[in-house]
Amino acid sequence: MIQAKPFLKWAGGKRQLLNKIESILPCDVLKTKEIDLYIEPFVGGGALLFHLLSNYSVSKSIINDINPDLILSYKVIKLFPHELIKKLKRIEDDYLPLAYEQRKEYFYNNLREAYNKLDVDYKAVDSKTSVEKVALMIALNKTCFNGLYRENSKGEFNVPFGKYANPKILDEDNLLNASKLLQGTEILCGNYSSISIPQDSKVFIYFDPPYRPLTDSGFTKYTKEDFNDEDQKQLAKYIQRIHKEKHHFLLSNSDTEDNFFDNLYKGFDIQRVLAKRYINSNANGRGEINELLIKNY
Ligand SMILES: C[S@@+](CC[C@H](N)C(=O)[O-])C[C@H]1O[C@@H](n2cnc3c(N)ncnc32)[C@H](O)[C@@H]1O
């Protein structure tokens, strides 16, 4: 079987929770290792997506995220993996031989500024500008501080330089495998509620929305727009509808002290698991915390 893992490090990535999540997949999925239709409305780096595509027989999948640059990267990997690999190889060959100060300069001028200045038409994915934009995005992700994706109020990527001795800017095998696995995936960009869910198939939906912050400094800003308590409540209403339509869903979020999600998802199965948070703007917020896994099956 073809194996791939996330090609970007992404805040809230679920790689460390995969074993736990896998152990509570719907019984029929665990028994047959088959999924008719898998939907991930907040895909981010897609840790569970790639795990399922690599290890299960998934007939069809739909992924979505509100971040247009992230979604562009999935589309480019699906459609133009070889062109992307060529560009990343050139960046890696330029970057790795440089000394510290030169790397820093390259990061700010050749990668970050170039990325922010490059306008793309998100609707017309092509083998030139789109590939260039995604190559810069991946290279920034591998060389910036903490592998974080963050934008300022103008929508510009603003994460500073990271001090990695030997960053793997190009992981050719993983990109080729990810591209093969994504061939049966429909890739959408927008608000989660705009996905239309077919009524006739057996559907499994995994919701991994932005975490509700444990403290005021918690990280929820993946794009210019934030995801606040009102958004969490709207999502809960949407999920109630999914439940009524008899689709299986699993949702993850943070376990905040005020039992916010226990109240919002009363009546569903709620489990607590320990998780390490690696990306948090507040250094004191790192460490082991409870994470919630909520499901209707
Ligand atoms: C916790 S992350 C998902 C992490 C992912 N499971 C992984 O393994 O990397 C949440 C994602 O939701 C996206 N997002 C935020 N608001 C959204 C919305 N209204 N609709 C769809 N996606 C949204 C963010 O861009 C971010 O990628």
The DSSP result for 163-207, as a single string, is --SS-----HHHHHHHHHHGGGEEEEES-GGGPPPPSSS-EEEEE
The more confident residue out of 207 and 1 is 207
Structure tokens at 219: 């990280």
Evaluate if residue 123 carries a pLDDT over 50.
yes
C-alpha to C-alpha distance for 232 and 248, rounded to whole angstroms:
19
Evaluate if residue 281 carries a pLDDT over 50.
no
**Cα-to-centroid distance, 101 and ligand 1 (Å):** 34
Structure tokens at 238: 């949407």
Q: Please check whether residue 206 is in contact with residue 46, taking contact to mean a CB–CB distance below 8 angstroms.
A: no
Residues with CB under 6 A from ligand 1: 10, 12-14, 41-42, 44-47, 64-67, 191-192, 208-210, 222-223, 227
**Cα-to-centroid distance, 65 and ligand 1 (Å):** 6
Percent of the chain with pLDDT over 90: 80
Tokens 């099956």: give the residue. Answer: 297
pLDDT of residue 276: 72
Domains in the chain (CATH in brackets) are: 15-66+190-275 (3.40.50.150), 71-175 (1.10.1020.10)
pLDDT tier for residue 223 given thresholds of 50, 70 and 90 = low
Q: Note the pLDDT tens digit of each residue in 144-166.
A: 999 888 888 888 999 999 999 99
**Cα-to-centroid distance, 193 and ligand 1 (Å):** 13
Q: Note the pLDDT tens digit of each residue in 247-276.
A: 999 999 999 888 999 999 999 999 999 887
E strands, the chain, are: 34-40, 57-65, 185-189, 203-207, 248-254, 269-277, 287-295
Evaluate if residue 143 carries a pLDDT over 80.
yes
C-alpha to C-alpha distance for 293 and 273, rounded to whole angstroms:
8
Q: Which residues pair with 37 in a beta bridge?
A: 60, 203
Evaluate if residue 179 carries a pLDDT over 90.
yes
**Cα-to-centroid distance, 275 and ligand 1 (Å):** 18
Structure tokens at 199: 């009524």
Helix, strand, or coil here: 1? coil
Kindly report the protein residue whose alpha carbon is nearest to atom 24 of ligand 1.
Answer: 222
